[in-house]
């Protein structure tokens, strides 16, 4: 216990020289000095944690490489989505579709100033974003074109393609038949591996693979002057055209005929148009309660 007392005073530097001499050889002074030395180091270590914490808190923060790269990827993905969305909206807005409903007609200008008259139940689609370099449109139905001079002008239909540089022409594509009439300039009509150059005053008809060229004696399509012209049209083709033009329903389930009709009917008087059809095909009509008509054999 005495040594413990002196050890405590030695570590605190509170032991006098007289006391050290009094202890004499009973104490291992070398061991006391080592204990004192290690005790001092321990004291320093006990005080370091606070200093270490301050040092760590004061040190500049380094950004995580993973976090930095993650942010860059997120930013890049966001920009990609943004530009993709803008591009999609731009492309979507550049696509133009114009439709003339049954019983109506539409007249409009294309981006280059070319004039289009769209007949009943007909539709045109084109891309206005590159129209100057690519004057191409698709047509379902019938349309009359007055094309200004410029690059090649193409009309694509389910039954063939029409190409011009600058001219006036009419295209009618219904079912499996296409009629192309030229009123000014020249028109190239192609279907599969065959093509025909149509000059003013001529009309070419493509019907189920067969080609037929006839003359036209007018300066513009008859339908633009409220007339419907049929050229060797079957009965069901005639009634279908009347339904489109007048926006009516014509039932003829009991009529079976392969007779063709070539002639003209008015496009603004349904009663007279039906009278002509009755006399031509030897039929009689009945007006139904819902406003539709039924044709039957006499």
User: Per-residue pLDDT tens for 109-153?
Assistant: 999 999 999 999 999 999 999 998 999 999 999 999 999 999 999
Residue-level pLDDT at 78: 52
Q: Does domain 94-223 have CATH number 2.40.128.50?
A: no
Residue-level pLDDT at 5: 53
pTM of the model: 0.68
Would residue 247 be called left, alpha or beta, if left means φ above 0 and alpha means ψ between -120 and 50 degrees? left
Residue-level pLDDT at 88: 47
CATH 3.55.50.30 domain range(s) in the chain: 226-297
Decide: helix, strand or coil at residue 215. Answer: strand
CATH 2.60.120.1440 domain range(s) in the chain: 94-223
Read out DSSP for 48-85? HHHHHHHHHHHSPPPPPHHHHHHHHHHHHHHHHHHHHH
Alpha-carbon distance of 142 to 76, in angstroms, equals: 48
Residue-level pLDDT at 45: 39
User: According to CATH, what is the number of the domain 226-297?
Assistant: 3.55.50.30
Task: Give the chain's residues under pLDDT 70.
Answer: 1-93
Phi, psi of 256 (to 5 degrees): -125, 110
- For residue 91, what is the enclosing H or E element? helix 65-94
């Amino acid at each position: 216990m005495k040594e413990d007392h002196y050890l405590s005073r030695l570590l605190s530097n509170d032991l006098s020289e007289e006391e050290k001499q009094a202890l004499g050889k009973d104490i291992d002074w070398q061991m006391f000095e080592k204990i004192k030395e290690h005790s001092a180091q321990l004291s320093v270590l006990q005080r370091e944690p606070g200093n270490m914490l301050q040092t760590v808190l004061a040190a500049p923060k380094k950004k995580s490489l993973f976090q930095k790269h993650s942010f860059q990827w997120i930013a890049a993905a966001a920009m990609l989505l943004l530009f993709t969305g803008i591009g999609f909206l731009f492309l979507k807005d550049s696509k133009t579709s114009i439709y003339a409903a049954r019983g109506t007609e539409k007249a409009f200008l294309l981006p280059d100033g070319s004039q289009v008259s769209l007949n009943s139940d007909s539709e045109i689609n084109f891309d206005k974003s590159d129209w100057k370099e690519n004057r191409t449109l698709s047509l379902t139905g019938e349309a009359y074109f007055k094309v200004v001079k410029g690059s090649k002008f193409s009309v694509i239909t389910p039954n063939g393609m029409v190409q011009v540089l600058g001219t006036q022409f009419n295209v009618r594509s219904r079912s499996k038949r296409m009629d192309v009439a030229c009123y000014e300039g020249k028109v190239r009509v192609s279907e599969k591996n065959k093509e025909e150059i149509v000059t003013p005053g001529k009309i070419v008809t493509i019907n189920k693979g067969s080609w037929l060229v006839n003359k036209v004696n007018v300066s513009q399509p008859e339908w633009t002057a409220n007339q419907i012209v049929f050229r060797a049209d079957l009965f069901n083709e005639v009634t279908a055209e009347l339904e489109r033009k007048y926006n009516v329903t014509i039932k003829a389930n009991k009529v079976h005929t392969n007779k063709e009709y070539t002639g003209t009917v008015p496009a603004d008087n349904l009663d007279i148009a039906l009278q002509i059809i009755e006399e031509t095909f030897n039929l009689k009509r009945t007006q139904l309660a819902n406003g539709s008509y039924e044709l039957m054999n006499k």
